[in-house]
Amino acid sequence: MTEPTPPKDSGIETLLLSDGTTAELIGRDGGWILEVDGIRQSHIVRPGEATALAVARWLLAALGTERRSVLHLGGGLLTLPRAVAEVSPQSRQVVVERDPVLATLVHERFGLPENVTLEVADARGWLAAAEAAESPRATYDAVVIDVFAGGRIPGAFTSRECFASARSLLDARGVLLVNSVAGGDLTFTRRQIATVRAEFEHVAMIVQNSSLHGLRFGNAVLIGSAAPIESDAIRAGLAGDSSRGALVTELDDLVGAAEVVVDSDDLWSPEPDLPDAGPALRLLAQARTLGSAFGPAAGAPPQ
């Protein structure tokens, strides 16, 4: 495994992604943050440290430490695969990332964790090809859907057909994890839960209480499985997390009569309603770069 290169100085690098979107790679506190459209997408940390991305910690709690094989649809800088490799180094992981710019950055600058394969492809097309393959297809303990474009989940990754394709690649006790969203009137969230329930017998969600009650916009991890969900283990994994994400297993009242989403709906997640932390991060990075250029102030104690 190639260890991620720590930033020499805190600063910002601009990346032009393959679709013309501008992204920022921010060096901070010995790690790297990837922001796209002002939203933090990935966070690479030093070994032994926890990522600042709460949703990645939730996904890790939902996965547990006994997964032998994990398929990730959407990769970024591989925040979650790196965390899984650290706690379960024996796990075989496949990551499907659409953007070749990010894939090249991962390969050439940050490296791949052990037992991780990175493929450049449209994740929905990759799923369809895997499902239709004549040769015996691989089965996974877990499939993670973590695909965003412009801060929103594309309609191709919110539908029953997508979740059904993912289920076809899971073993009998496998789990589907979807990095989704909650907030506002929760219409989208209700429909997403209804859609997962259409394919899986057991469904739960990790979410913050404020998002569940529509007070703020945030992430929500949807969990689907043909086997009973290991609720106690997930709650133990979430215990003490500063984000206060909670596992919700009683979903009937929340879902109500929400309709299942199908491909023809082309239902994207709502526009994110988030405070923009980008300017603050940029000012902090610039201040640190400026400080390193001038050296320590006179009389200042050594760091």
More confident residue, 106 or 28: 106
pLDDT of residue 137: 65
pLDDT at residue 7 greater than cutoff 70: no
Give the pLDDT score at 28: 85
Q: Give tens-digit pLDDT for 37-91.
A: 888 999 999 888 999 999 999 999 999 988 899 999 999 999 999 999 999 999 9
Neighbouring C-beta atoms of residue 192, cutoff 10 Å: 28
Higher-confidence residue of 284 and 30: namely: 30
- The length of the chain is 303
Q: What is the mean pLDDT of residues 255-263?
A: 98
Most confident of 11-25, 127-141, 237-251: 237-251
Cβ atoms within 10 A of the Cβ of 73, count?
A: 26
- Which two three-digit tokens encode residue 182? 């909650």
> How sure is the predictor about 301, in pLDDT bands with cuts at 50, 70 and 90?
very low
pLDDT at 302: 33
Residues 178 and 188: their CA atoms lie apart, in Å, by: 13
Q: How far apart are the first and last CA of the chain?
A: 31
Can you state the angle between helices 187-199 and 160-168, rounded to 10 degrees?
Answer: 40
Say what the pLDDT of residue 294 is: 37
Q: Is 125 in contact with 114 (CB distance < 8 Å)? A: no
Which amino acid does the sequence have at 257?
A
CATH number at 49-274:
3.40.50.150
User: Looking at residue 291, what is its pLDDT?
Assistant: 43
Give the domain ranges of the chain.
49-274
H or E element, residue 222 = strand 218-225
Per-chain mean pLDDT for the chain: 88
- What mean pLDDT do residues 3-28 have? 80
- pTM for this predicted structure: 0.87
User: CA 151 to CA 199: how far, in whole Å?
Assistant: 26
The count of other CB atoms within 10 Å of the CB of residue 182 is: 28
Please, which residues bridge with residue 120 across strands? 97
Distance CA 227, CA 79 (A): 27
Please report the pLDDT score of residue 293 as a whole number: 42
Residue 259: both structure tokens together: 């309709």
Give the pLDDT confidence of 202-254 residue by residue, as tens digits: 999 999 999 999 899 999 999 999 999 999 999 999 999 999 999 999 999 99
